Structure 1
Amino acid sequence: MNPPPVNDARAMRVAEIMTDFRNLQYYLSQLRATPTAEEYYLEGYSLLRQCQAEAQAILDQPFSAGTTSPGGDAEQEKAQLRAIIVDSAVRRFQCQRAYLRAHAGLRWQNSRNSILRGQKPNASHLALLQQADSQLRMAHAHVDGTLRNADATQGKWLAEDPSLTYIQQILMTR
């Protein structure tokens, strides 16, 4: 018995999400920042290190759905594919969040370098550095919308992707 076409769409969706996940992991592994000893604990540099650690922790998490073999049963295959979609969507969400936060950290680093132009921070830099810090803090949003908009624009099958609320519930239990 052949699996229903919807299961084919589910399997394809898993592959799409995992490709996005792999690409995000690659981009996060390429981030490099070289703060001085005085700058090491500044918010932007700490954020970059945190994002890289989050990406590694996501890779280290075991698969959270049951790994039973469907054995040709279309309903078992459907349930397993749904579980894989949820798990992979949560991981992709986590990576996308880390990626966007890391890029906010890189923008902060570039702003800081542009403001200082090789000088040590002093009172004349204070207002602009505070503005850069403020922009960094405001950049922690819109991950779910970013992902869904990109997927919809590319015409991907989203019918069984978990909602943001469901993803957040799963993350709170991990």
Structure 2
Amino acid sequence: MSDGLNDARAIRVAEIMNDFRNLQYYLAQVRASPTAEEYYLEGYSLIRQCTAEAQSILNTPFSASSGAPGGDPEREKLQLKHIITDAAVRRFQCQRAYLKAHAGLRWMNTRSSILKGKQPNASHLHALQEADSTLRDEISRVRDEYVDSTLRTQDASQGKWLVEDPSLAQIQQILLTR
């Protein structure tokens, strides 16, 4: 017998997919135009990696479950749970890429403000090294636990129904199999 929560599940799918869409939109807008000499610098490489990861997430096919529910509330429940899990994993991946890309953009802006349109020289060395170090520190803090915490905190503060969201351990397990 159905538990009567399929409407809540369907709303949750829509919420997660909306977040995913917003993250994808943001990542698609990330633009960096390094010179040939700057192309392989950490921040620019990170930004390219994040945008490629976002595209890869979009290209990953949904592993559909047992077909259309056909009016059966129990089949609908299982299908919605499966969609919640898949959408939550994709949103998690996008959030991680977003946080890293945002760090890369801060690095890029810091670098730009240090150089002020000039070529790097010895007088910039310390400030540029500090910017690189700050980027590495920020990236090291973007761990799975932090990514999960940012999403759950945001969802909870908005009063969203999180009962059937996958745990971090479940998300990590799914990502290991992809």
Q: Work out whether the TM-score is over 0.5.
A: yes
d(CA) in 2 for partners of 1:135, 1:64: 39
Per-residue CA deviation, residues 105-124 of structure 1 (Å, 9 max, x unaligned), is 00000111111112222222
Shift of 1:48: 0.8
Per-residue CA deviation, residues 16-54 of structure 1 (Å, 9 max, x unaligned), is 000011111111111111111100110100111111111
Per-residue CA deviation, residues 142-169 of structure 1 (Å, 9 max, x unaligned), is 2111111110011000011011121111
d(CA) in 2 for partners of 1:99, 1:44: 14
d(CA) in 1 for partners of 2:129, 2:92: 29
Which runs of 5 or more structure 2 residues have no equivalent in the other structure? none
Aligned equivalent of 1:173: 177
Is 1:157 matched up with 2:145? no
Shift of 1:173: 1.0
Runs (4+) of structure 1 exceeding 6 A deviation are none
Greater shift after overlay, 126-135 or 48-57? 126-135
Which runs of 5 or more structure 1 residues have no equivalent in the other structure? none
Specify the code of the residue in structure 2 equivalent to 1:70.
P
CA RMSD, 1 decimal: 1.4
Q: Does the 8 Å CA contact 1:90/1:167 hold for their aligned counterparts?
A: yes
Greater shift after overlay, 141-150 or 61-70? 61-70
Shift of 1:73: 1.7
Aligned equivalent of 1:49: 48
TM-score normalised over the length of structure 2: 0.92
- Indicate the SS of the match to 2:112: helix
d(CA) in 2 for partners of 1:132, 1:64: 41
Specify the code of the residue in structure 1 equivalent to 2:115.
L
The number of residue pairs the alignment matches comes to 173
d(CA) in 1 for partners of 2:35, 2:138: 24
Q: Does the 8 Å CA contact 1:65/1:87 hold for their aligned counterparts?
A: no
Aligned equivalent of 1:17: 16
Shift of 1:138: 2.1
Shift of 1:4: 4.6
Q: CA 1:26/1:67 → structure 2, altered by over 3 Å: closer, same or farther? A: farther
